[in-house]
Amino acid sequence: MLITNATLITWGLPNQILEAHALYLADGRIAEIGPEAELAAHHPEAERLDAGGQYVMPGNICAHTHFYGAFARGLGIPGPAPKDFLEILQKLWWPLDKSLTHDDVHASALVMLVDAIRHGTTTLIDHHASPNAIPGSLDVIAEAVEQAGLRAVLCYEVTDRDGPDRARAGIDENLRFINRQSRTTNPQPRIAATFGLHASLTLSDATLDACRQVAPDGVGFHIHVAEHEVDEYDSLAKSGLRIVDRLQRHGILGPRTILAHAVHVDAREINLLAETGAWVTHQPRSNMNNGVGVSQVESLMRAGVKVCLGTDGFSSTMWEEWKTAYLLQKVWNRDPRRMSGVDVAQIGVYNNAALAGMFFPDARLGVLTPGAHADLIFVDYHPFTPLTAGNLPWHIIFGFHESMVTATIVGGKVLMRDRQLLTLDEESIAARARELAPAVWERYQKLVPL
């Protein structure tokens, strides 16, 4: 397929804005990039996709999310509002995840995948929980991702909060899915697996050791870390160690492990993160909503930690997350020089691409270059001032909106064109979700502690 009439944003190093250039896609990859006249002459027979003068750029990547949280939208929490993070877990997330059946898991995943395609997010790293429907839950999500045509990394969050049988079931679900996706004949090459853990505060030493023991070589973990002080206090009480030290002792850290949040880590923990090469994901909208504090993103980056950007179950609107990350550090530090647009692009583009790329190593992700995965979006943006490689981060922060995404392509397959979804039936997915959500809410109401 030949994409013509486009201005390309490559997100290469250095980034380039290429006017009157075309992309030739073949076998799910970007085969060639060049001046339009030249490429058109090389491939006269190719199917054409006219970008109508729009920007064409790599699809966005979300480094941490929860598809299963979709039905929380509109859900009323009975009794007094949760007063802190632990109560948010106890009164919202834990009774909600217990209320999910496989049907609900499937429907909530589809809802979130519609949202991702519409908003130009082409790769998502999910963290799943459904304690009353554990075995096979990752297959159910994988089926939805496969149908959507997106790229995803899946895991099940192991936890001791529901007893030893469910902890074991969580471990088994991760292992089963990891083995399934690591076969050399993996039938779903756009789906990868990692090993999920909930958070230090719901994991015993024995369970951490059991996970470490059974996780295959080369597989990392995906876990929440120090989202709120309560996680650190719990770790100190249980082990005498701060969380990152505790995870290090149990062999959980390493260059394939993802730690979500890291809001309350201390200087030594930051050094450990840098030394072990673990990834940290930043979710400023979630942190603000839960009132858990502000991650010291710049300090983490200065210490050499690889910081990425996720949504934590918020809408897959990555530029919204960019804007929040950019604004939050300025008001928190009361200094408008903090968190430059270049830093936001570093985490939201380059680091996210490096993290996601680890799971899909057969070609590059998040960059327009020959040989890379053809994961692209079209953006209908008309700048009032010249857009350059240098000022692009600020154009995105102050000018771009996800509603400007008109086409989404993954692995060379068009998932949305002229804002029309081609792989998913949005209307019937929404109708099915509206059918299921009230029953989930009813089960939730019976489980929620007052």
Nearer to Zn ion, 260 or 356 (CB): 260
Which of 36/312 has CB closer to Zn ion? 312
Is 410:45 a contact under the CB 8 Å cutoff?
A: no
Min. distance of Cβ 260 from Zn ion in angstroms?
5
CB of 224 to Zn ion, least distance (A): 6
Residue with Cβ nearer Zn ion (118 or 285): 285
Binding site for Zn ion (CB under 5 A): 260, 312
DSSP per residue, 363-420? S--SS-STTSB--EEEE----SS---TTTHHHHHHHT--GGGEEEEEETTEEEEETTE
Residue 237 class from Cβ within 10 Å (0-12 exposed, 13-18 middle, 19+ buried)?
A: exposed
Q: Which C-beta is closer to Zn ion: that of 8 or that of 138?
A: 138
CB of 398 to Zn ion, least distance (A): 28
Closest to 19 measured CA to CA, from 37, 2, 1: 37
Q: Residue 257 Cβ, how far from Zn ion at the closest point, in Å?
A: 15
Could you tell me the smallest distance in angstroms from the CB atom of residue 97 to Zn ion?
A: 12
Nearer to Zn ion, 244 or 424 (CB): 244
Of 136, 149, 128, 75, nearest to 102 by C-alpha is: 136
Closer residue to Zn ion in complex, CB, 259/421: 259
Give the torsion sign (CA, 357, 389, 341, 382).
Answer: negative
Are 250 and 256 within 8 A, CB to CB? no
- Shortest Å distance, C-beta 261 to Zn ion: 7
Residue 106's φ and ψ, nearest 5 degrees, are: -65, -50
Cα separation, 190 vs 292, in Å, equals 34
User: Toward Zn ion, which CB reaches closer, 232 or 312?
Assistant: 312
Give the nearest distance from C-beta 90 to Zn ion in angstroms: 16
Residue facing Zn ion at closest CB distance: 312
Residue 328 or 396 having the CB closest to Zn ion: 328
Burial of 45 (0-12, 13-18, 19+ CB in 10 A): exposed
Q: Which two tokens stand for residue 226?
A: 């120090």
Integer angstrom CA distances of residue 219 from 59, 283, 359, 443: 25, 23, 10, 35
Min dist CB 315 to Zn ion, Å, is 14
Cα separation of 243 and 450, whole Å?
Answer: 30
Reported residue count of the chain is 450
End-to-end CA, the chain? 57
**Shortest distance, position 64 Cβ to Zn ion, whole Å:** 6
CB closer to Zn ion, 25 vs 155: 155
Residue written as tokens 């969380």? Answer: 243
Nearest Cα neighbor of 259 from 278, 232, 277, 241 is 278
